[in-house]
Structure 1
Amino acid sequence: LSSCWGYRQREPGSTGRGGVWAEAKQETPGQAGQSWGHCGGEGQSDAQLGCPARLPALATRRAPGPREEASLARRPLDSGTAPSCSLAGGDRQRRLEPQRQDESRCRPFAPADARQAVPAQPVRYMGMPWGPAVGGWRGRRRGLGLPPSALAVAAAGLMCTALVAYACWGQLPPLPWASPAQSRPVGVLLWWEPFGGGGPASRPTPDCRLRFNISGCRLLTDRSTYGEAHAVLFHHRDLVRGPPDWPPPWGIQVRTAEELELRVLDDLEEEAAAAAEALAISSPRPPGQRWVWMNFESPSHSPGLRSLESNLFNWTLSYRADSDIFVPYGYLYPRSHPRDQPIGQVPPLAQKRGLVAWVVSNWDERQARVRYYHQLSQHVRVDVFGQRGPGRPVPDSGLLHTVARYKFYLAFENSQHLDYITEKLWRNALLAGAVPVVLGPDRANYERFVPRGAFIHVDDFPSASSLATYLLFLDRNLAVYRRYFHWRRRYAVHITSFWDEPWCRACQAVQTAGDQPKSIRNLASWFEQ
């Protein structure tokens, strides 16, 4: 019906079923050869569709009387019995023919007197999801939708049904931050507290279920529970520089308590040494227990990698995406629940009085980031904060509030390695509301974790002077500068909580892992690539 009579308005030249649609317009006298649509298509004769066979007969029928003309003139264009040139028979044909005589839009085949009827008006698109309509709700075709009141009633009914189901028969699907089903209990022992001087963990263990939606975790710090642990975490920095208090059979096995006491410097080390001696005379490594190597420093700042034995560890836990347990310094997640940071957290541009800021704690003139800073600072002002180098102390308002007053932040890593993207990007720049200028792995590596329009990479420019020129351009063109914040409409920033989150993620990995054994054959060759 639509392809024959041009019921729906199409763009000029666009194709529909049956042929090319003509532009929807009102016909004037003398345009007998122009029409809203046609019956035949390319390769089809009009006779094949039946239109010419019916329409000539309409001219031989009597013209409608005055009352019928008035009735037809008041009748909406689309009243539920839209004209059709398809074959129809019986009473339906007799009911439709008077309307066809005056409202027919197959102009090339209509008689001359039929063209004296009220001209058809172009179909007006109403923007409804189900397509074109005429005259709003009153003029839409039957069966294509419901009035707003009916839709509201239907929506209310669905809501009531859902609430009844929730109250009587079960719970709705959990929200992203809701607690999942109970998982099997898993014990994870932290052998050293990271950067804790080699002693056991001394602070309270985190609640994985409350903080990270991971249930069934038993986090252990007492080394006497070594035989009960499903996994043991070893922090690399403490592992290579701490006292020789490894678990058996790699730990201390022949030293007596008197020999160990010679190494005691304080009560904490004495306690650690006693625990190591107790383990040395206990059972060997429990079957199925996984040793997890944990490290969040780059290979350039991870000494002693090659001193570790092959097949010593079963899993790796690091910022590397190809780790057995991947825990990045931060990540973006879709905004989907009320705990997301509000979009308004980014300070208004009027509050950004400074141009470029950089917070650095480890100043080394040999580092690539320091050399690049010297080049960039010759062309644009860079305010440096920190205890080393030319830096000044961070104001009492805090790092985030300080950086928020700047348009750009230098997220320069201390070394360039695969996936080594630290809090300098996630916390100091993105969370603070400054556009990050990054120096680290290549752009393609950054784009695995951050939208390409959310940061500026130093590799995009042939020199530091050209980068400075671009930063000054953005400073003068705020409309272009604002584009670097478009990602905030869809994403929020998650900052990894050290060391609670890696601990809980290790528990989660044990819960979901199978029983297939695995060991790291050459840890150094993998991590240093």
Structure 2
Amino acid sequence: ASPIGSIAPTTPTTTSLFLLVLLIPLFVFLSLSRSPSSGEEREEAPTVTLLIWTRPFGEDQRLPDCWELLRVPGCALTYDAGAYPRADAVLVHHREVAIGAADPPPEPRPAAQKWIWMSYESPAHTPELWRLEGLFNLTMSYRADSDIFLPYGYLVPRAGAGTDARALPLSSSSSSEPPRSLFVAWVVSNWSEEHARVSFYRQLSRYIRVDVFGRAGRPLPGGGGHVVRLLRRYRFYLALENSQHTDYVTEKLWNAVAAGAVPVVLGPPRANYERFLPRDAFIHVDDFPSARELARYLLLLRAQPARMRRHLAWRRGCGLRQPDFWAEHYCVACRAVRRTRGRTAEVRHLSRWFES
């Protein structure tokens, strides 16, 4: 029998307990991500100036109004390097400094100014960290032990005071939904024979058909922004990360969740994924001794809808939040600066921490 066969079905009660116990660290975002309501007024708060020193990947993005976006008051965001002498904090996206497209902010820094290091790539794709030792006061990333933690996605309850109106409601499959006529999909742009995910795909595709989209496969219908729409036609999605590191769970997983496809994951260990999702919400490649056994289990689920529903029943009562890159990140960082005003610490051993 498949190892996953021992997993008990998730009930609404166990899903609720999961949300209350395992997702407590993520509930901090509920207060940040409430949709604007007409009854609320902008809170009077001392203004914090946050200078965006490097635009992530060179994207020329309009800066948000943090009050309108997340109800974060008193934030002045700017790209203007001339604001450096008066900025309360400077946000540095790692990649541009690492590849030499930008220099770090100049020393000496203004008194009490905080420098924030930000990266959403895995350690395997975050080079030159050693060059930045001792420069920063705060870290921001997908890692739960960052000073400023904002993951690629997270679940929220859909009932009670904690409801997040900005969350996407998740429904379990039902007879009213159109049938999913297709089996397994994989969307991949960064193809490398050195990646474990490519090796895994080659093994799995010996036993079942996998439809591959992206630069390494068929063009995505409608372009790259229509991944979720594509996945609504599939039962399973290969959410395979380019490298395996702590908390590195990217939009690949959350796009599958949003589409109602069951994600088959390759990344950090199962226990790490279970910090973000109930255990039935995904299928981990490590649950099986071989790709052949995993293929057998997927075929079994396709043939037995009752067993398939077990992997979807947890969705009742849940919502999904996927933060907007990079607008929400700037506003969450600004709020963190306000909360730590008057306190300045130094990030020690940046590379040792992030690469662990």
Report the TM range for the smaller structure's normalisation: 0.7 to 0.9
The amino acid across from 1:436 in the alignment is P
Q: 1:12 — aligned with what?
A: none
Please give the residue correspondences for 1:429-444 in structure 2 after superposition, counting only pairs within 5 Å. 429-444=256-271
Offset of residue 343 of structure 1: 4.4
Please give the residue correspondences for 1:311-322 in structure 2 after superposition, counting only pairs within 5 Å. 311-322=134-145
Asked if 2 retains the 8 angstrom alpha-carbon contact of 1:355 and 1:382, the reply is yes
Q: 1:518 — aligned with what?
A: 345
Asked if 1 retains the 8 angstrom alpha-carbon contact of 2:92 and 2:117, the reply is yes
**Does structure 1 residue 375 correspond to structure 2 residue 203?**
yes
Q: What's the secondary structure of 2:254's corresponding residue? A: helix
TM-score by length of 1: 0.57
Supply the distance in 2 between the matched residues of 1:182 and 1:433 (Cα, whole angstroms): 41
Please give the residue correspondences for 1:277-316 in structure 2 after superposition, counting only pairs within 5 Å. 284-308=108-132, 310-316=133-139
Q: 2:7 — aligned with what?
A: none
Supply the distance in 2 between the matched residues of 1:243 and 1:395 (Cα, whole angstroms): 33
Please give the residue correspondences for 1:385-400 in structure 2 after superposition, counting only pairs within 5 Å. 385-388=213-216, 391-396=217-222, 398-400=226-228
Pick the aligned partner of 1:240 from 98, 104, 109: 98
Offset of residue 307 of structure 1: 2.2
The amino acid across from 1:235 in the alignment is H
**Does structure 1 residue 445 correspond to structure 2 residue 307?**
no
Supply the distance in 1 between the matched residues of 2:277 and 2:251 (Cα, whole angstroms): 13
| Larger gyration radius, structure 1 or structure 2 | 1
Higher relative contact order (CA 8 A, sep 6+): 2
Structure 2 gap ranges (5+): 1-32
Asked if 2 retains the 8 angstrom alpha-carbon contact of 1:354 and 1:407, the reply is yes
Q: 2:316 — aligned with what?
A: 489
Q: 2:151 — aligned with what?
A: 328
Supply the distance in 1 between the matched residues of 2:53 and 2:34 (Cα, whole angstroms): 32
Seq. identity, %: 51
Supply the distance in 1 between the matched residues of 2:187 and 2:270 (Cα, whole angstroms): 22
Offset of residue 183 of structure 1: 3.3
The amino acid across from 1:393 in the alignment is P
Supply the distance in 2 between the matched residues of 1:343 and 1:191 (Cα, whole angstroms): 37
Pick the aligned partner of 1:480 from 301, 307, 326: 307
Supply the distance in 2 between the matched residues of 1:313 and 1:306 (Cα, whole angstroms): 12
Q: 1:403 — aligned with what?
A: 231
Asked if 1 retains the 8 angstrom alpha-carbon contact of 2:171 and 2:316, the reply is no
Supply the distance in 2 between the matched residues of 1:182 and 1:489 (Cα, whole angstroms): 38
Q: What's the secondary structure of 2:73's corresponding residue? A: coil
Q: Which region of structure 1 is more displaced relative to structure 2, 397-406 or 284-293?
A: 397-406
Check 1:455–1:177 CA distance in 2 against 1; reply closer, same or farther (3 A cut).
Answer: same
Q: What's the secondary structure of 1:468's corresponding residue? A: helix
**Does structure 1 residue 352 correspond to structure 2 residue 180?**
yes
CA displacement, residues 427-484 of structure 1 (integer Å, 9 cap, x when unaligned): 2x00111000000000000001111111111111111111111111110111111122
Asked if 2 retains the 8 angstrom alpha-carbon contact of 1:183 and 1:511, the reply is no
Supply the distance in 1 between the matched residues of 2:166 and 2:352 (Cα, whole angstroms): 41
TM-score by length of 2: 0.83
**Does structure 1 residue 506 correspond to structure 2 residue 329?**
no
**Does structure 1 residue 189 correspond to structure 2 residue 17?**
no
**Does structure 1 residue 468 correspond to structure 2 residue 304?**
no
Q: What's the secondary structure of 1:195's corresponding residue? A: helix
Q: 1:130 — aligned with what?
A: none
State how many pairs are aligned.
Answer: 313
The amino acid across from 1:317 in the alignment is M
How well do the aligned residues superpose, as a CA RMSD in angstroms?
A: 2.0
Offset of residue 184 of structure 1: 2.6
Supply the distance in 2 between the matched residues of 1:342 and 1:460 (Cα, whole angstroms): 28
Check 1:240–1:432 CA distance in 2 against 1; reply closer, same or farther (3 A cut).
Answer: same
Pick the aligned partner of 1:213 from 61, 71, 81: 71
Supply the distance in 1 between the matched residues of 2:127 and 2:34 (Cα, whole angstroms): 39
Check 1:431–1:509 CA distance in 2 against 1; reply closer, same or farther (3 A cut).
Answer: same
Check 1:243–1:358 CA distance in 2 against 1; reply closer, same or farther (3 A cut).
Answer: closer
Supply the distance in 1 between the matched residues of 2:199 and 2:309 (Cα, whole angstroms): 29
Asked if 2 retains the 8 angstrom alpha-carbon contact of 1:292 and 1:313, the reply is yes
Asked if 1 retains the 8 angstrom alpha-carbon contact of 2:63 and 2:77, the reply is yes
Supply the distance in 2 between the matched residues of 1:400 and 1:443 (Cα, whole angstroms): 24
Q: 2:20 — aligned with what?
A: none
The amino acid across from 2:182 in the alignment is G
Offset of residue 526 of structure 1: 0.7
Q: What's the secondary structure of 1:206's corresponding residue? A: coil
Q: 1:412 — aligned with what?
A: 240
Q: What's the secondary structure of 1:424's corresponding residue? A: helix
Offset of residue 185 of structure 1: 1.3
Supply the distance in 2 between the matched residues of 1:248 and 1:401 (Cα, whole angstroms): 45
Q: What's the secondary structure of 1:475's corresponding residue? A: helix
CA displacement, residues 173-193 of structure 1 (integer Å, 9 cap, x when unaligned): xx9435574333111000111
